[in-house]
Structure formats: structure tokens, C-alpha cells
Amino acid sequence: MKNLSISAAILFATLGVCGVDAQSQADKPAVVRLDPALDALVSPDARLELVKGGFGFTEGIIWVEQGRYLLTPQGETFIYLDRSGYTLPDIWRVGFEQTNGKNPSDPLFEKFYMIGSNGLALDRQGRLIIATWAGRSIDRIEKNGKRTVLADRFEGKRFNGTNDVIVKKNGTIYFTDTYGGLRLRDKDPRKGLEFQGVYMIKGGKVTRIIDDIANPNGLALSPDEKILYANGSRDKYVRRYRVLPDDTVTDSQMFIDISGDPTPGITDGLKVDIKGNVWESAAGGVWIISPEGKHLGTILTPELVANVEFGDPDHKTLYIAARTSVYKIRVITAGIP
């Protein structure tokens, strides 16, 4: 860990590292308005800015008010935690193959294995919670830097690729597990569980709370924490669930289905603003969706979006982890702190 004094910064995960720069967005319109309600959320004149490019695959991204973290809004980068995902020595045996999105005939084309961490969250004590992906666990980084494994199996079988993670105000942790942490996905001989799902850690116990999403990925809670959103990754949809007093969920409903849009981009990471609108990585960039499930508009991005996070002291800058780069755009409505 670097002992740095950064008053505010973005922390994000890189699942692979390479050296390709993203193209500039300085003079390109970034916002597609589909409904007048979008004007209260983001200006039609807002511009997408490149914070930093040159990574392999950027993922889980989180804003921290202070601490020793990774990427400042000015684009300065520092390694906060090496081997954030898979921590064992045989790294050549794990993680599925990914590319930087370039055509194989392009001289800048690169491929690598996804061995880094994925989703990131902070608990109410400010400790970092990590979905370790190829590490197949949910870990917590203590104040002294020590790593604590909170969960790595369900009913005695190993998780296969912990993907996204969020923390409720009362400390309950929700996370998704997929086959993505395995080199051969569901065909990998190291596979533990025979299914993917959404799980809850509460009181030290792991419970599977959602089993009707074949390929779960991103998670988010409504401002009052009465609704849990979970998306379907490459199946391109978001479902919503009513959160019960014991933090389990019920009343599964389709929130929005974008599977009919042929534009590249899956439902991956998502966040919610203080008015309950959902900001979802999707076809073409970031979709902004009303609490009723109406698509209000899209923030266009030059690369496929993996995750989003509201940052800056007023929480009115949307940071976007998109393949090889991190971008940002100023918005009008603040995200949930």
C-alpha cells in the first residue's frame, strides 16, 4: 500500500492491465435525450471527459471522501492494493481470457486473463469490501490493511466468481456470484456451485436470495432501501425486488428489458440517484431509467461500460469505468452517497 494523503479520490478495480489509450470525447455530444424528464438529471450540453486511459479492463469503481486510494479526479493514479482479486501464486491458471476491445488485426490489440477484483463497496465503518472475482470470495480490508474473507462458499461449495457487491445501511451485504472467475466458465473442472445467484451475508450467515436471474451481475438499492435492483448481464435486463424486514427479497418483477437493442453493451454495473433513477451500463453507454422503468436517455461512451459511480464531494459527477478507461460527466441530480 502507498501511504498517500489524497483528500478525495476514485478507487477502481482493473481486471487486466495493458497500454491502450482511449479516444478523446472533448468535442462530441454525450447525452441522448429521450424524455423531457432527463433535463432535471443531466444537462444536454454535458460533456464526457476522459479521466485516465491505458488500462486493460476497468471495473468496480467507488468514490471515497478521504484515504489512501487510487485515482484522483485529475487523473493521477496510484496502486492501492496489488493482487486485489486472486491472491495465490498460480495466476496463470485462473481468470477467463479477455481483450481490450480492439480488432485482432489492430496493432494495439491485446488480450489478458481476468485475475483482478471486480465490484467494490464501503461498509459503514469505511472498510473496503471486495468481490474478488477470480479469488471467488467476498473480502474486507481492515483499517490495518489486513484482509478478512467474509464468504467464499455456500452450503459447503466454493463460489465461482464473485462479481458485484453492495452494503445496506444496517451492514447487510448483497453480492452476485457467476462463472466469470473461472478460466473455462461453467465447463471449468474447478467449478464449485452448479448455479449462479444473488446472495446475502448477514450475521455471518450466507443466504441465497435470488435464483430467477440466469446470469446475475450488478446490484443497487433504492434510496429508501426498500427495492433491490439486480441485472442479467449479457441477457440485458434489470429486475427489481421488494426488500423484506429480514433483508431477504420478494416480489420479483421485470424493471426494464433492453435485450431487443442490438447496440453493443450489456447490463453490468448500476447506481441509483437520490430521486430513485437508475443509471445502468447498457447498450451504447449508460442508460438513465426512471423509478417506473422508463428509459429517459443515454450517456454515450466510446467504449463498452462495465460500471458507474457517483463521485466528487457533491456526488454530482458520474464516473464511468469503460473497458480500458475511466471517464466522468457532470450531472444535475446527486447520486446516493
Transcribe 254-298 into DSSP letters.
EEEE-TT--SS--B--EEEBTTS-EEEEETTEEEEE-TTS-EEEE
Name the grid cell of 303.
467504449
Per-residue pLDDT of the chain (337 residues; tens, 9 = 90+): 332 223 356 665 655 444 334 444 445 679 999 999 999 999 999 999 999 998 888 888 899 875 445 566 677 777 778 888 888 888 888 888 888 888 999 998 988 888 888 999 999 999 999 999 999 999 999 999 899 999 999 999 999 999 999 999 999 999 999 998 998 889 999 999 999 999 999 999 999 999 999 999 999 999 999 999 999 999 999 999 999 999 999 999 999 999 999 999 999 999 999 999 999 999 999 999 999 999 999 999 999 999 999 999 999 999 999 999 999 999 999 999 8
Helix (H) or strand (E) holding 200: strand 197-202
In this prediction the pTM is 0.90
- Please measure the distance between the N-terminal and C-terminal CA atoms of the chain and give it in whole angstroms: 25
CA-based R_g, the chain, Å: 18
Three-point CA angle 327, 234, 232, nearest 5°: 95
Quickly count helices (H) and strands (E) in the chain: 0, 27
276: left (phi over 0), alpha (psi -120 to 50) or beta: left
Would you state the pLDDT for residue 3? 29
CATH of 9-330, one of 2.120.10.30, 3.40.640.10, 3.30.460.20, 3.50.30.50: 2.120.10.30
Q: Which amino acid is at 131?
A: A
